[in-house]
Amino acid sequence: MKSILRMAVGLALAGWVAGCGEGVSFQDRRDERDPFLQRARERRNAEDLDGAIKLYNEALDRKPQLASAHLEVGLLYVKKEDYLRAIYHYQRNIELRPAAQKRDLVEGLIREARLYYAAALPNRPPGAIEEIALLKKEIATLRAQLEGTNAAPKASVVLPVSNAAPRSLAPPQPVVAQPAVRTHLVQPGETLAAIAVKEYKSRSKWRKIFEANRDALTSPESVRAGQTLVLPP
């Protein structure tokens, strides 16, 4: 009985070590054996992006915990300029591998995808293109550091920095500031000439007020108390 108990404890500890002690490397090696993931990589290496994305998604439909598949399909979505899907899959990779050495790198890829998405918007934020260039250098540095610290054999996960240029966009048009609209509330006994003197210091400006309010005035004499007249600049 004691030997059986020792065996059970030993198996439990072995499982715990495999799942926690070996951690990310053990989980990544387990991912490597998935046939859909292997076929997706073959399609990716053959530059069949659509076929690879389809197989990656089939792999994830079967095993949503395939962190490697999330990362790799995210990279492909960036190439397809589908940045929102890329961000989703990058985030899922971090959720599934929170302690991974390459977490900083994946977080950099998320920031890069967000910047590319922002740069593709009609009113892109100022400085977005410059920030993308700086971030690409940061990602390249992180990748070099990661490769330098990994002494053990790594999974065949390719983490290229995206070289896809943002979609060509027309330069943003300057916004012309519109002058504030002035109005005048007609008081009892006021005429257009009196309003012109009050607002423009010139009696002759009455015609300017009349022309600006032709939709409300049928004649210069039709002005009535309580009307709101537009005062042109």
pLDDT score at 142: 65
Q: Which of 70, 4, 198, 170 is nearest to 209 (CA)?
A: 198
Residues with pLDDT less than 50, the chain: 1-22, 151-159, 161-162, 165-170, 172, 175-178
pLDDT score at 149: 52
CB 109 within 8 A of CB 94: no
pLDDT score at 195: 92
Question: pTM of this prediction?
Answer: 0.49
Q: Which of 130, 168, 164, 160 is nearest to 144 (CA)?
A: 160
pLDDT score at 151: 45
Query: What is the CATH code for 14-149?
Result: 1.25.40.10
Looking at the domain 182-231, which fold is it?
Membrane-bound Lytic Murein Transglycosylase D; Chain A (3.10.350)
pLDDT score at 201: 92
Q: Kindly list the domain boundaries of the chain, sorted by start residue.
A: 14-149, 182-231
Report the C-alpha gap between 117 and 3 in whole angstroms.
60
pLDDT score at 174: 54
Give me the count of residues in the chain: 233
Largest CA distance in the chain: 114
Q: DSSP assignment, residue 230?
A: E
In the block, residue with structure tokens 């967000």:
114
In the block, residue with structure tokens 């977490």:
103
Q: DSSP assignment, residue 82?
A: -
pLDDT score at 206: 92
Report the C-alpha gap between 172 and 119 in whole angstroms.
11
Q: Which of 172, 199, 165 is nearest to 184 (CA)?
A: 199
pLDDT digits (tens, 9 = 90+) for 106-118: 888 888 888 777 7
Report the C-alpha gap between 162 and 155 in whole angstroms.
20
pLDDT score at 233: 81
